[in-house]
Structure 1
């Protein structure tokens, strides 16, 4: 599907990082982008700069997602593109022993559920609602192309590190549901693909000390640096615009395979 002038698009987590880069890449091709995010100040700023619209959205709440889609569609019409970048993470061992006191504790289930609800259930919620809307559209081509969906998983979904049980489970779930969803929607001309980013230079990573970033960059086989959000955006655009790209989970990681810690 060619992204052209006035193509409606939605990017969750579009106020910063991978989502912001993708929103800007879409807008550069002429798309009308709705940014779904909880960061109002940042989201409004990006939306203003790209000629889009900011829609406050909590992907864990049904009413919030419905309201965001309603606002986006009122502003730009039914979206043909959805890119899911909203996500969170934490680092807690499943069970651990305090080496000084001997006290044993386990991963709080509410903290585990929080990650699952945002990264996995939130992603699916947006996919299902967007796909239902795309099904009302006329096909764009003789192939019957109605729309394209790109999700964000992580290399942690395949080789998660110590403390990443919740994060890896959530991202592994996104990977696992990509092909079934693509199959669910194949008769409607809606394609679904997922990107598995490695270690990227996002706002979260920017907060890390320089020595930490240097060590992480050195662990990448090639090139020995962190990924740039613009590289994620280019792959997302390729998935959107290449009509034969469907049902795929693609690592974007410089060849890294994560060590246990």
Structure 2
């Protein structure tokens, strides 16, 4: 898919990997719709990128009506949806049993699944519905692409990450069947599984914590740049033969138990 004059929806776009992706998308001529719960941050992003190139919609990715109404706003402003990048998510840490031997509250586990997995699917399914309205383009007859975000925790979940790892494993697990479901419609589905990325949340951690994380990385010996996530997303957009695939973006890290 050629990126020029395309429209992308980015969930979690007001911060972190989603925010970094917006800059990469804008660079190659893609207009963006930002789905996020943080109204103030979303408004700031639109002012930075320009209201002609960006739209912010306050969205709860776990709520059907919220997502459906948000896509209607995108269609009203930009006329279509070609790309969907799902970055919205949470990273809880809680052991199955606490120090007193009490079981983790089920609601904590369910919340991670609801936001990271069900929220991702909720947005992706409506994105696919809107992409189906597009005219097939290019030699392959492509209508759109969905890019979901997993994590290396899907494969190497650490202590306290049962809920997070389960949610991200679910994202990886649905990548191929979603790609197969949507193949006849000319819609591709891929997933990025980031490792230790230098998002503001991680960079605000104490130096000793950052050093411990970097020590586990193979090469290059540093945190990943959020822009590197964005550039991989752009490559997925442009490379029509890349479909049904999850790519680890992690400098060969394999996470230890803790």
TM range (shorter): over 0.9
Consecutive unaligned residues of structure 2, counting only runs of 5 or more, are: none
Matched, 1:21 2:20: yes
Residue among 113, 118, 121 paired with 1:121: 118
1:110 & 1:232 partners in 2: Cα distance?
31
Question: What is the SS of the residue equivalent to 2:111?
Answer: helix
State the shift of 1:175 in Å: 0.1
Q: Does 1:30 align with 2:29?
A: yes
TM-score by length of 1: 0.96
Consecutive unaligned residues of structure 1, counting only runs of 5 or more, are none
Q: Does 1:134 align with 2:138?
A: no
Q: Indicate yes or no: 2:6 matched with 1:2.
A: no
What does 1:61-210 correspond to in 2, within 5 Å?
61-96=63-98, 98=99, 103-210=100-207
Q: Which runs of 4+ in 1 moved over 2 A?
A: none
Shift of 1:193: 0.3
Q: Provide TM-score, normalisation by structure 2.
A: 0.97
RMSD, matched Cα: 0.9
User: Are the counterparts in 2 of residues 34 and 47 from structure 1 also a CA contact under 8 Å?
Assistant: no
Task: Tell me if the contact between 2:95 and 2:162 (Cα under 8 Å) persists in the aligned partners.
Answer: yes
Write the distance in 1 (CA, Å) between the matches of 2:46 and 2:9.
11
Query: How far is the alpha carbon of 1:219 from its aligned partner?
Result: 1.4
Q: How many correspondences in the alignment?
A: 255
> What is the distance in 2 between the residues matched to 1:250 and 1:7?
23
